[in-house]
Structure 1
């Protein structure tokens, strides 16, 4: 009798242990799923406009998507661009708001796919600007190059398309910039986001800065900077707008729901949080081919064999 009781006790313990391991041992992205649907997925957002300014719009978007998807959706503003890419690769984030460059990097490394982008004044394009104080003597890229030794230059995040990659290539082509350590400027700083760059110029902490045109115009429109205190000294060619991208494990049904929901959004709190968008439109990987080529040319990514 004692042996039977002991055997039953051991068997019960083993069964309990197996059940506990099964409930805790699911990989990222699968834990908490019921009936094929996750209880929650996370939207990662780059700090393009400063995390505090984007939180309201991101949270409201998450609420809207949760209503349509039928399960929890949460948004998190990450402290830097690369952090969002790594979170997607680790399975912590299922959908992200990325810059074009960070999207290209994430697509190359983790096969994420763009599904939606924002419209600015009805168009899915923006520019990289070089901005300076309105009373500065600099009026063109040539002026910036000619007076580089007197200029404190500000990029945004090092992984930003308009705040780093595109203006950096222009300055490299002009022969005045190679890296933060090797350049002809008085100094080179990376501010971290577009709002910080604009404020650094307005407050006299930097002399010329690289910035996203849509975020710059939206900051002025919202009164967060004084547009009269700036001048645009250079403008890039058209750049396709920031993508919203999803991981490969997301179902086609959920992707269709997300796309349909975002295309119908008119909430100003959501739209203004993302560069003062006028709406959303569909996007795909091919829309970022020119950014991919620029990233290859700049040594940011390697071409596929």
Structure 2
């Protein structure tokens, strides 16, 4: 009996050792899957002319390299979907993602939101910048003054300049607001044309190649140098509720250590004169605060309604 008891003890001990070893290996495997970058790739989405944006954003490379101690490459994607796919395929480590693109990247590839941008709010309808820092922005529907389009209902049968379908301000929020007012932007005789950048949406209305445009509030200021009278000739007929501000997001397997390092680096850079000039000129960002996934639940609510547009 003692032999059996001893064998039982030995078997039990070996089983425990095996179990602990397996757990240890599992932890090691999980840890080994965490990504530690040797070179950091950072990408923006084109909210305005892509080549101009890239020229403005490039100086971030040196500032980030100084903070992180590794080489950094900054670029601008061709559109919203491209950057999401690039992060999913691990070609891009950090993305300046608009809210809806972040929600998609999180759902499809478990991307991790680190920071949320802060911006100054605007007055309405003249888009004057205030001194109030907010964590949201708004979308507007713009038309040409004197066009006869005075409300959402007048958009039936018109041509609208829009952004990619993952753009919150350039598509989702305005399209959902139309839907709530009984107009389906995919139907009702409306023709949509995709343009690259909100500045191009403004200019489409200004030049008469589109009857209306879905843009973020303040987009008219992007073209004031080229179109001095844009504020009087292109006017908003609708302004949406607040949209959660843009994100700084990492690929899903980025190690927690590097998530913290990247967050700290961007917060620090945003507080320097040179860094602030860059983020302000590229996206009108004034600084960054720590973000969490639930900050973007409002986007998910709008997305659900947006899916009804095709039905």
Q: What TM-score range do you get, normalising by the shorter chain?
A: 0.7 to 0.9
TM-score (norm 1): 0.77
Contact 1:50 1:193 in 2 (8 A): yes
Distance 1:191 1:207, change over 3 A: same
Match of 2:73 in 1: 74
| Counterparts of residues 117-196 of structure 1 (less than 5 Å) | 117-121=116-120, 122-141=133-152, 145-146=153-154, 148-149=156-157, 151-179=158-186, 182-185=187-190, 187-196=191-200
Structure 1 residues not aligned, in runs of 5+ = 1-29, 31-35, 301-305
Contact 1:218 1:275 in 2 (8 A): no
- Pairwise CA distance, 1:159: 1.6
Contact 1:69 1:254 in 2 (8 A): no
Contact 2:57 2:279 in 1 (8 A): no
| Counterparts of residues 1-305 of structure 1 (less than 5 Å) | 38-121=37-120, 122-141=133-152, 145-146=153-154, 148-149=156-157, 151-179=158-186, 182-185=187-190, 187-214=191-218, 216-219=219-222, 223-225=225-227, 226-264=230-268, 265=270, 266-267=273-274, 268-299=276-307
- Pairwise CA distance, 1:37: 5.1
Distance 1:290 1:224, change over 3 A: farther
- Pairwise CA distance, 1:155: 1.2
Distance 1:224 1:67, change over 3 A: farther
- Pairwise CA distance, 1:119: 1.5
Tell me the number of residue pairs that the alignment of Structure 1 and Structure 2 aligns. Answer: 257
Q: Deviations over 1:220-250 (max 9, x none)?
A: 5x63543232211101101111111012322
Q: Aligned-residue CA RMSD in angstroms?
A: 2.2
Moved more, 259-268 or 66-75: 259-268
- Pairwise CA distance, 1:90: 0.5
Distance in 1 of aligned mates of 2:208 and 2:220: 19
Aligned to 2:115, the other structure's residue is in SS state strand
Distance in 1 of aligned mates of 2:260 and 2:231: 39
TM-score (norm 2): 0.76
Distance in 1 of aligned mates of 2:105 and 2:42: 15
Distance in 1 of aligned mates of 2:102 and 2:155: 34
Over 6 Å off, 4+ runs: none
Q: Deviations over 1:185-204 (max 9, x none)?
A: 2x321113212101111111
Contact 1:56 1:269 in 2 (8 A): no
Q: Deviations over 1:59-111 (max 9, x none)?
A: 12232111111111111211111000101110111110111111100000111
Structure 2 residues not aligned, in runs of 5+ = 1-31, 121-132
